[in-house]
């Protein structure tokens, strides 16, 4: 039963990654008839309302002070990330956007090292080098990155900071409540500006795109990720979530985007760089019992 439960947890994280990857095409299609800011307002308000309805039925979890301020900080970073990503999707392909976004998995240990004033490990530096080289191959533009790639790099930076903030505040609050607040912050911040930045007169297909991303990605997929991480552990979860850019690239090819051999090689280098930066040695030579205890503790820690 324990082994089966772990397999189900793995499947939940993989399913979340596939759903996340599917949103790149949906968002790119949605913003053909809607400007990014009003689209984000509707998407995140839908997600916040869905989560608020779920939270309202959970009376067994007490509220803790500080939730609003924590949600405000996390939501502001989330807002910046999605603005960069959604605007960047107007100038690049879905596959490139997905892979550049996932450079956040490399940025997280780097930013963490800067905050702690510790030199990154050799594996982190190697991973950064591989991922950077892969980025150049993937975009096919050499050192001169385009507008879409640079905007999406801003997205990766904001999301990396968002992960670091959540590492601090998430253990103190109920996950669903914190997520509902931060989604509400993003939606509310975009709602009024959206009236002047494009408005909300959209075709039905765009409303469907906003509803899909709001419910499936912001509410359901994130719930699957958090639930699965309770057994899978944060490090392995981050590796499984790499399926997100892979699924986005596959979907992009299916709908007619051309990746090419150089792009495929670049994508492979980015995945290799992320894996090298995130993987830990399986067993150190000294004091293996201590490693086992640390690994067990990591595997039981939730987001």
Q: CB-based contacts of 157: which residues, under 8 Å, 6+ apart?
A: 104, 107
Instruction: Report the C-alpha dihedral over residues 235, 61, 211, 201, rounded to 10 degrees.
Output: -120
Task: Return the closest-CA partner of residue 199 out of 28, 24, 86, 42.
Answer: 42
Distances (CA, A) of 44 to 154, 184, 247: 20, 7, 23
Token reading at 224 = 């699957």
pLDDT at 234 over 70: no
The confidence score (pLDDT) of residue 230 equals 65
Query: Residues 55, 180: contact at Cβ < 8 Å?
Result: yes
* pLDDT attached to residue 283: 37
CB 180 within 8 A of CB 51: yes
Q: What is the pLDDT of residue 235?
A: 55
State the Cα–Cα distance between residues 198 and 130, nearest whole angstrom: 40
Smallest Cα–Cα separation from 47: which of 210, 224, 197?
210
Does the pLDDT at position 237 exceed 90?
no
pLDDT tens-digit readout, 112-151: 778 767 666 777 778 778 877 877 777 665 555 788 889 9
Instruction: State the pLDDT at residue 142.
Output: 56
Residue with tokens 């067993």: 283
Q: Average per-residue pLDDT in the chain?
A: 77
Higher pLDDT, 156 or 136: 156
Inter-residue long-range contacts of 206-210, CB under 8 Å, 24+ positions, other chains counted: 206/30, 206/32, 206/33, 206/34, 206/39, 207/42, 209/26, 209/27, 209/29, 209/30, 209/39, 210/30, 210/34, 210/39, 210/42, 210/43, 210/46
Q: Report d(CA 302, CA 226) in Å as an integer.
A: 7
What three-state secondary structure class fits 124? helix
For the segment 4-18, what is each residue's pLDDT rounded down to a tens digit? 677 888 788 889 888
225 or 148, greater pLDDT: 148
pTM of the prediction?
0.75
Rounded distance between C-alpha atoms, residue 238 and residue 14, angstroms: 10
> ∠ CA 291-293-295 to the nearest 5 degrees?
65
Q: Could you report the per-residue pLDDT of 159-177, keeping only the tens digit for each?
A: 888 888 877 787 788 878 8
Distance CA 251, CA 119 (A): 38
pLDDT in tens, 89-104: 888 877 778 778 877 7
């Amino acid at each position: 039963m324990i082994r089966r439960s772990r397999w189900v947890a793995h499947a939940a994280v993989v399913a979340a990654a596939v759903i996340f990857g599917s949103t790149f095409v949906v968002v790119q299609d949605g913003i053909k008839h809607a400007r990014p800011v009003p689209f984000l307002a509707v998407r995140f308000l839908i997600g916040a309302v869905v989560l608020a309805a779920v939270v309202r039925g959970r009376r067994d979890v007490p509220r803790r002070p500080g939730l609003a301020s924590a949600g405000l900080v996390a939501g502001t970073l989330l807002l910046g990330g999605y603005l960069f990503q959604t605007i960047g999707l107007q100038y690049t392909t879905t596959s490139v956007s997905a892979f550049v976004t996932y450079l956040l998995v490399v940025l997280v240990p780097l930013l963490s090292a800067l905050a702690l004033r510790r030199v990154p490990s050799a594996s982190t530096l190697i991973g950064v080098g591989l991922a950077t080289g892969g980025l150049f191959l993937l975009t096919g533009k050499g050192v001169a990155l385009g507008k879409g790639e640079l905007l999406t790099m801003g997205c990766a930076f904001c999301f990396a900071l968002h992960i670091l903030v959540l590492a601090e505040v998430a253990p103190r609050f109920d996950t669903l409540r914190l997520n509902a607040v931060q989604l509400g912050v993003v939606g509310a911040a975009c709602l009024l500006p959206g009236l002047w930045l494009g408005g909300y007169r959209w075709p039905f297909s765009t409303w469907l795109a906003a509803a899909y991303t709001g419910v499936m990605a912001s509410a359901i997929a994130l719930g699957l990720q958090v639930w699965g991480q309770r057994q899978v552990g944060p490090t392995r979860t981050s590796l499984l979530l790499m399926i997100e850019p892979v699924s986005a690239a596959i979907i992009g090819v299916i709908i007619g985007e051309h990746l090419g051999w150089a792009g495929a090689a670049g994508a492979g280098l980015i995945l290799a760089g992320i894996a090298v930066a995130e993987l830990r040695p399986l067993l150190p030579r000294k004091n293996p019992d201590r490693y086992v205890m640390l690994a067990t503790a990591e595997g039981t820690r939730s987001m």
